[in-house]
Amino acid sequence: MPPDSNYSEKRHSTEYTGIYVISSYSPTIKALSIARKTDIIPLHSQEHHFAIPAMRKTVHMSDLGVDNEISTIRRSIKDLEEDSILVNQGKEPVMGSLEACAIAHFACHGISDAQNPSNSALLLGTESASKAERLTIADLANESLYKAQIAYLSACSTAQSPDLDLANEMIHIASTFQLMGFSHVIGTL
């Protein structure tokens, strides 16, 4: 059989699925076990509670335009309770809202720490603060949320593990949300 004339061209192509998507995965057996224990409530159910922490302005960081994101969420969720939206709140009220929520949507800055991945964080707090509060992996790691279902992390570096020595360890914010009990997590690189 004659060789495929396009074979060498196909073999050296830079176009492949991996440059467009990142596969879903469960980082640990513990995360998979927690996800399987969570009672899934259909999304159209009225029983869902939301937590939507958002930072309009973070000290020394670029503006994210979260007001547009919040407006879109409000239009999409008809019966959204006003106290679900936590604009410019610190980590204490955010952690309290996570305990009761099924769906969390973070609209803030995120940072990853290559020296100590457990210090990777979502940046929260008031606009007037001289320094943002860091909601770190270490802060989140021991939480067990049994109502949690979906976490949408609209923040940079939430699925990034910056330490090349720990690349296979999956220590990043998105995997921490899975360990907390969120069976579906969307993070960013």
CATH of the domain at 130: 3.40.50
21 part of a folded domain: no
8 part of a folded domain: no
- Residue 64 belongs to domain spanning: 26-186
The residues, ordered by sequence, that sit 6+ positions from 178 with a Cβ below 8 Å of its Cβ are 26, 27, 31, 34, 35, 185
4 part of a folded domain: no
169 part of a folded domain: yes
19 part of a folded domain: no
| CB-based burial, 97-129: b 16+ in 10 Å, e otherwise | bbeebbbbbbbbbbbbbeeebeebbbbbbeeee
12 part of a folded domain: no
Instruction: Write out the chain's pLDDT in tens, 189 residues.
Output: 455 555 445 555 566 555 555 555 666 677 667 666 666 666 666 567 899 999 998 888 888 989 999 999 999 888 888 889 999 999 999 999 999 899 999 999 999 988 888 899 999 987 777 889 999 999 998 898 888 889 999 999 888 776 666 555 677 899 899 889 888 889 887
Count of structural domains, the chain: 1
Mode of pairing for the β-strands spanning 103-107 and 150-154? parallel
pLDDT, residue 124, reads: 95
76 part of a folded domain: yes
